Amino acid sequence: MAAIAAAAAAFSTLNLSRTSVFLPRCHLRRAITSSLSSATTELGAKFAAPKPKPKAHKPAPREDSEQFIPWTVNDESGDVTLKTTSSERFLRAVVNESTQRKKKKEDRGSGGKDKPGVPTAEPKYSKAARRFYNERFREPPQRLAKVLAAAGVASRRSSEELIFQGKVTVNGSVCNTPQTRVDPAKDIIYVNGGRLAKKLPPKVYFALNKPKGYICSAGEKETKSALSLFDDFMKTWTKRNPGTPKPRLFTVGRLDVNTTGLIIVTNDGEFANQISHPSSNLSKEYIATISGAVSKRQLIAISEGTVVEGVHCIPDLVELLPRQPDIPRARLRIVVHEGRNHEVRELVKNAGLQMHSLKRVRIGAFRLPTDLGLGKHQELNAASLRALGWKT
C-alpha cells in the first residue's frame, strides 16, 4: 500500500491538467517507473536475494574399486541387518554361473551339432513342398537322344545311332527309340555299360574369337578344331564344379578355316537351333579385306547379289570403309542375314575381286568385344544372350 501511495504522489507531482499537453505513453511509463524506484528507495524497501539451488549430493568415491551391493542378512538373534558388502556365497554363485555358461558354449562348439566344418544332413521337405518344386521348377522328362547329347555322350545324331544299335538301356531294358521320355534324376540309364550321371551339366554360353586355321567341328587329327581352344577350361572344370558333369561344347553355325572372328560356343541345343534358324533373321556383319582397288562398279555388283547353293542371295549392306594408315588394303563392310555357306566369299568373287582376309565382327546385336584377342573366349551374360535373339 505504501508503494501505491508513493506512486500516486509521484503522479500528482507531474501537475497535469486538462488543458496541458499530454505526454506520449512511453514517456509516461518511464516517469512512473523512475518514480516507483525512487519511492522504494526512500521508503527503505528491500527484496531478498533468490535462494541458490541446492547442489546434488554426490557420494564420495570408494577407495576400493569393488561395486557396492547392499545385502540383508539375519544375525544370530534373528534381527535383520544391512551389510555394506555382498555375501561371499552370492559372489561364488555368480562366478560359478558364468563359468558354467562358457563351458556349455565351448562344449557345443567342440562336439555339438553346430561344429563348423561338419556337414549336416539335408532338411526333409514335406510332400506338398516337393510337389510344388517338381511342378514349377524341375525340368520335365526329355527325349533320350537329347539327354545323352546334353550329358556329353555324343552329338544328337551320334546318340541316336547308339540307341538304334542297342547300346543304351533304361531301367534295365534296352531302349531302341530315341524319342523315349526319360528323367536322369529318376531313371537308370546306361550307355556302353557306363552309368549316366543323374545330374546334367549346366548350360554355358561363350563368344570365341576364332583364329585362322581352325575349323568349327570336331576335326581330324591333321586339322585343329576351334573347340580345342577350350581345353584349359575343360581341364579345370572338375576343380571349379565338383560333382557336376562336364558340358559337351559345340559351335553355333560355322566359319570356314580361313575366316576369323566371332563364333558362339555352347552346350544348349535349343539355344543353338533358335539363333541359327532362318526364322530368327539374325544379321551377320563381316569385314572383308580386298587385294587391290575397289571400283564403284564392283560395289554395285556385290550389292546386286549372286547365286549361292541355288538361291539368289542379296546382301543387306555393302560399304567401302575409309583407308587407314596402318592398313594399306581396301576393306569392305558386308552385312548378310541368310548366312549360307561361303556366301560373303562368293559375293566378292562374283564382283571380280580377290579376297585377302575375312572376319566376322557381329551376330545380331552382339558385337565382338574389341579386347577379346584371337583364340580367347568370353562367357556371355543375360544381356548378350538377348542381343543374340535368345527369348528364354
What angle is formed at CA 31 by the lines to CA 27 and CA 34, rounded to 5 degrees?
135
> Closest Cα partner for 338 from 385, 282, 285?
282
Given 75, 183, 232, 256, the catalytic residue: 256
Question: Could you give the CA distance from residue 112 to residue 154 in angstroms, rounded to a whole number?
Answer: 48
Task: For residue 68, count CB atoms less than 10 angstroms from its CB and return exposed for 0-12, middle for 13-18, buried for 19 or more.
Answer: exposed
Question: Could you give the CA distance from residue 322 to residue 332 in angstroms, rounded to a whole number?
Answer: 9
CB atoms closer than 10 angstroms to residue 144: 24
- 224, 230, 236, 237: CA torsion to nearest 10: -120
What angle is formed at CA 325 by the lines to CA 319 and CA 331, rounded to 5 degrees?
25
How many CA atoms does the CB half-sphere of 42 hold within 13 Å? 12
Question: Could you give the CA distance from residue 244 to residue 171 in angstroms, rounded to a whole number?
Answer: 22
256 catalytic? Reply is yes
Question: Rounded to whole angstroms, what are the CA distances from 18 to 10, 21, 22, 57, 191?
Answer: 18, 8, 9, 64, 131
CA 50 to chain CA centroid, Å, is: 71
All residues at 6 or more sequence positions from 218 whose CB lies less than 8 Å from its CB, including other chains:
225, 227
Cell of residue 291, nine digits: 587385294
Active site residues: 256
